[in-house]
Amino acid sequence: MWSYLQQLSFWDWLAFGTLLLILEVFGAGGYLLWVGIAAAAVGVLTYLFPALPWTLQFVLFGVLSVLTAVYWWRRQRTAAKPSDQPGLNRRGSELLGRQFVLHEAINGGRGKIKAGDTLWLVSGPDLPAGSRVKVIGQDGVILRVEAAA
């Protein structure tokens, strides 16, 4: 084992980096990408400096892995900006604050409203069918309503 470590070549690092990048394809969430890039970078450095001791190679690998991961993490945080479509993929959020007529009475805290061509489950105080209600919130696919003034 020690003799193998003392004779690490750039091919070993490039193969390790390639393996990590292949594993990243199978869904590691981005982390193995940066570790794989660090391994490939150590491979390039080992090619340029063949006398690089194996201990220094491992130190470089560790430092480059951390640096690339921190760089990407910081870049992602600064690049994040508010969406220009905050309601995207939040079905029902466009109904907040709007008033509707109850399609089915609210009994035991549950009823239905019709918004466009869709029936929505609602929760709120018991009210008869035909009452006007205002959507005040959303719990998943159930809209919270109150009697409209």
User: What are 95's two structure tokens?
Assistant: 């109904």
Position 27 scores a pLDDT of 78
Would the pLDDT of 119 be above 90?
yes
* pLDDT tens digits, one per residue of 3-38: 766 777 888 989 999 999 898 888 767 778 889 999
Predicted local confidence at residue 146, as pLDDT = 94
pLDDT exceeds cutoff 70 at 1: no
User: What's the pLDDT at 4?
Assistant: 65
Give the residue-averaged pLDDT of 120-149: 92
Q: What is the pLDDT of residues 90-118, one digit of tens each?
A: 778 888 899 999 999 999 999 999 988 88
pLDDT of 29? 73
Q: Residue 44 above 90 pLDDT?
A: yes
The predicted pLDDT at position 2 comes to 65
**DSSP percent split of the chain into helix, strand, coil, nearest 5:** 45, 25, 30
- The token pair at 34 is 């940066």
Residues with Cβ < 8 Å from 60, sequence gap 6 or more?
41, 42, 45
pLDDT single digits (tens) 61-89 = 999 999 998 988 888 888 777 777 766 66
Domains of the chain in sequence order: 2-79 (no CATH), 93-147 (2.40.50.140)
pLDDT given at position 76: 81
> What is the residue type of 38?
A
